[in-house]
Structure 1
Amino acid sequence: MTSNYQLGTRFQGKFVAHDGKVDVYYNGALKATVDGAFGSGYYKAGAYTQANCNNSSPCDTSNYGQVALYGVTVTHK
Structure 2
Amino acid sequence: MSVYVCVCMAITDRQICEAAQGGARNLKDLRRDLGVARECGHCAAYARQCLEEAKQDQKKRDKTKRLVTVNLF
Range of TM-score over shorter length:
under 0.3
TM-score, normalised to structure 1, is: 0.22
Q: Which has the higher helix share?
A: 2
TM-score, normalised to structure 2, is: 0.23
* Structure of higher RCO (CA pairs closer than 8 Å, 6+ residues apart): 2
Q: Which has the higher strand share?
A: 1
